């Protein structure tokens, strides 16, 4: 989990610099495409790893103070827009269920939020605008605090057992 948070943090903060402030020229935007593929893949893996923690019994509502500064979550209901308080699990749910994913990568924008949009099962549209670097820092801070309170949080998920796979008596 920590390794994924660190990788997401690094990719979030390095994208604009790599694409616009380095010696690399990406005329065909293949580097940008590969960057976005890596970024979204790692972010999804982090979201799945975190959600697993919450399903194992960690209180997701206790994470609200850790992520309150990371972005904004809006829901669009009956002709009104509402800003909603969110937890780490809420961010993970939005990452996993997003219909659209947009990372502003422009030369003028050094630290841009990532915007995810989708709908709830009830059909209510939502939009999450999150600074992934700040979210990754919040994950690292939360993991540190959970360890100090409860003991060790595994850095990675345990590998599935391979006993009996491919072995014949």
DSSP string, the chain: -HHHHHHHHHHHHHHHHHHHSSS---TT-HHHHHHHHHHHHHHHHHHHHHHHHHHTT--GGGGHHHHTTSEEEEEE-SS-EEEE---HHHHHHHHHH-SEEEE---TT-SSPPEEEEEE-TTS-EEEEEE-HHHHHHHHHHHHHHHHHHHSPPPSSPPPPP-TTTT---
pLDDT at 160: 34
**Is residue 165 predicted with pLDDT exceeding 50?**
no
> Position of tokens 């850095």?
155
Give the pLDDT confidence of 47-102 residue by residue, as tens digits. 999 999 999 888 899 999 999 999 999 988 766 667 788 999 999 999 999 999 99
pLDDT at 104: 81
pLDDT at 29: 84
pLDDT at 157: 36
Query: Can you give the pTM of this predicted structure?
Result: 0.82
């Amino acid at each position: 989990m920590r390794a994924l948070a660190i990788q997401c943090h690094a990719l979030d903060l390095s994208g604009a610099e790599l694409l616009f402030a380095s010696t690399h020229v990406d005329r065909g935007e293949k580097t940008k495409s590969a960057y976005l593929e890596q970024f979204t893949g790692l972010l999804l893996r982090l979201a799945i790893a975190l959600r697993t923690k919450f399903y194992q019994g960690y209180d997701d509502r206790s994470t609200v103070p850790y992520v309150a500064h990371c972005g904004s979550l809006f829901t669009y209901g009956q002709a009104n827009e509402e800003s909603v308080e969110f937890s780490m699990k809420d961010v993970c749910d939005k990452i996993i269920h997003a219909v659209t994913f947009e990372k502003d990568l422009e030369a003028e924008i050094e630290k841009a939020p990532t915007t995810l949009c989708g709908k709830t099962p009830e059909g209510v549209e939502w939009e999450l605008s999150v600074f992934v670097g700040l979210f990754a820092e919040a994950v690292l801070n939360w993991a540190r605090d959970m360890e100090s309170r409860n003991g060790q949080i595994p850095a990675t998920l345990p590998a599935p057992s391979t006993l009996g796979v491919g072995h014949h008596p």
